[in-house]
Amino acid sequence: MSNKSVTRSKRTTSMTVATALMMIGFMFSKCSGFLRDIFVSARFDDVYRDSFTLAFTIPDIVFDLLVGGAIQSAITPTLASAIARGEEEKGWRAVNIFISVFSVIVITVCALGVIFAEPMFMIFKSEEKGTEVAHLAAMASKWLFPQVFFMMLAALSIGILNSHKRFGSTAFGPTVYNICVLGSILLFAGNSENKLMMTTAGIMSAALIYFLFQLLCGFDILKNFRFRFEPKDKEFHMLVRKALPILISASVVRINMAILNIFAEQFPEHVTFLLRNASTVWQLPYGIFAVAIGSVMLPSYASLYGEKKFTECSELLASRLKSALFLTIPSAAFMFIMNADVIKAVFQWPTNHYTDSDAEKAGLFLIGYAGAIVTHSMVYIFNQAFYAMGRTKVPLVAGSICLISNPLMCGFFISRGLGLLSLTIAYTLTSCIQLAVLIVIYEKDKRISLHGLLPFFVKAGACTLIMSIVLFLIHEALPGAGGKMIQLIKISVKGLACLFVYFGCAALFKMPEATEWITKFKSKLLRKSH
């Protein structure tokens, strides 16, 4: 075997292990996130759970505007490329200045957020419900704005560790955060303004613990950070020019969710929390598969692109897209068909106030979101590729188009009488537009053009269609009614049946994505048997 083949094989193995770790970490994070929503439903009534949900909206947008894009477009690629070139010390200098300057900016913005929380949250006031929900959300957010600073420190730590391909050190940090959040909800949550604020104060403490956990896991690398407030530095300006478009485009998802929440508050029912439930569910496969795969791909793509290995860049992106979509396409079909049953299985428990009517409304939202599982998976991975190349304006252009189309589509579908479904259908169609823009721009560079995706989509689509027919027949024969245990058993049986049918069809079609998973599963069984 040639040295090039050996190197590629080692890189593939390393990425597979790293991706598996990230997937496990995201799975624990998402599952603990489900518990958070279950506990919120148990401890708050409709008004307070909607207020709690809305309280995160603006602080989350602030985080994405000031931090989220910086990690993807500046921190991780800059350090990864510098390490690949043997210039890590130079890379650290630029990153130190970037983190120092943005830390000062974040502290200032968060202080202003606390001062002006109430007028900002009045955008969520409703003629139907008055200002109570918006007021409570504003009060609760006064503790969530300071949380942004600690989340920034944790996220920057993760970005730095990912640039060193230390994915094992970052995979389980979000789970630690969610566990602390659960503790805060259990200890403090209740139906009063004071208890709501105590809950969000506890969540701010959870963010501090999250950062300290990441610091402990990667102290040998993170100790290289030095505070350098040099806003006039030329390398800092270069990083800002690279990051600024993504500091805006990274917040597109949050802003679009805020737009949906504004429209949701105009309905007479309290559905903001239910909209979040549906969002939490569709983001489970998206987070476990697409985000994990894309996060691991970013530093590797940046290194390959920096070394001008364009063919390998194309192969890497195509393989990562197929790996993510192989698992997210059937997930989307399952959630589309089993919408209300999935919501009931996750959120409806004897100890909380989650009614069948709540589940039906959240299930309706989930129908509209189902397509976003596929489209957003592709958007995320394409964005990672553009960040790795330093072409940060491309995601900004695609995201800006979405910010215009999302509210227009929401208004259009509501005016056509689609009701609650209007919001999530608009969201999914908006992501389709975003994806189309990214693909068209990416394919203009023939050096990194993608190949071999059409046969994959044909085979994956055929497998999903067969799986969906089988699922529909089983669901007709075995409806989801019954007690909680019966409900969980039935949905588990349906899920396992879908898994076997989908993988069986994929194996018959000789899809390498299926045979890879099946081979790994068999090898683990053989090791256990010995």
Q: Burial of 126 by CB count in 10 Å (0-12 exposed, 13-18 middle, 19+ buried)?
A: middle
Helix, strand, coil share of the chain (percent; to 5): 85, 0, 15
DSSP secondary structure letters along 117-149: HHHHHGGG-BTTTBTHHHHHHHHHHHHHHHHHH
pLDDT number for residue 443 = 93
Q: What is the DSSP string of 205-239?
A: HHHHHHHHHHHHHTHHHHTT------TT-HHHHHH
State the CB neighbour count (10 A cutoff) for residue 1.
7
pLDDT value for 257? 83
- By C-alpha distance, which of 303, 298, 315, 308 is closest to 5? 315
What integer pLDDT is reported at residue 237 of this predicted model? 80
Per-residue pLDDT, 7: 47
Q: What is the rounded distance in angstroms from the CA atom of residue 156 to the CA atom of residue 262? A: 30
Q: In degrees to the nearest 10, what's the CA dihedral of 351, 355, 360, 365?
A: -60
Q: Can you give the pLDDT at residue 74?
A: 64
Predicted confidence at residue 459, as pLDDT, reads 95
Count of domains observed in the chain: 1
Buried residues in 15-37 as b, exposed as e (16+ CB within 10 A): beebbebbbbbbbbbbebbbbbb
Contact 284, 419 (CB under 8 A): no
Asked whether residue 128 is domain-assigned, the answer is: yes
Let me know: does 339 contact 364? Beta carbons within 8 Å: yes
In a domain, 490, yes or no: no
Q: Find residue 126's DSSP bridge partners.
A: 130
Return the SS3 of 199.
helix
What local confidence, expressed as pLDDT, does residue 10 receive? 47
Q: Is residue 525 part of a domain?
A: no
Q: Are 177 and 32 in contact (CB under 8 A)?
A: no
Q: With respect to residue 470, please indicate whether it lies within any of the assigned structural domains.
A: no
Q: Cα separations (Å) of 327 from 44, 330, 370, 374, 490?
A: 35, 6, 13, 9, 21
* Full domain range(s) for residue 179: 3-451
CA distance 263 to 307: 47
292 located within any domain: yes
d(CA 252, CA 235): 27
Q: Is residue 506 part of a domain?
A: no
Q: Looking at the domain assignment, is residue 16 inside a domain? A: yes
Whether 173 contacts 156, CB under 8 Å: no
This prediction has a pTM of: 0.73
Q: How many CB atoms lie within 10 A of CB 83?
A: 18
Q: How far apart are CA 175 and CA 22, in angstroms?
A: 12
Report the candidate in 464, 430, 150 with the shortest Cα–Cα distance to residue 329: 464
In a domain, 191, yes or no: yes
Tokens describing residue 15: 């990425």
* Residue pLDDT tens, the chain, 530 long: 454 444 454 455 455 555 665 566 566 666 666 777 788 888 888 889 889 988 988 898 888 777 765 555 567 767 777 777 777 777 778 778 888 888 898 899 999 999 999 998 888 877 666 688 889 999 999 999 999 999 888 887 877 777 766 665 566 677 788 889 889 998 999 889 999 999 999 999 999 998 888 888 778 777 878 888 888 888 778 777 777 776 677 677 778 888 888 888 888 888 888 998 899 899 888 888 888 788 778 778 888 888 889 999 999 999 999 989 999 999 999 999 999 999 998 888 877 778 889 999 999 999 999 999 999 999 999 988 998 888 878 888 888 888 889 999 999 999 988 889 999 999 999 999 999 999 999 999 999 999 889 999 999 999 999 999 999 999 888 887 777 888 889 999 999 999 999 999 999 998 988 877 777 666 655 555 55
Other CB atoms within a 10 A radius of the CB of residue 10 amount to 10
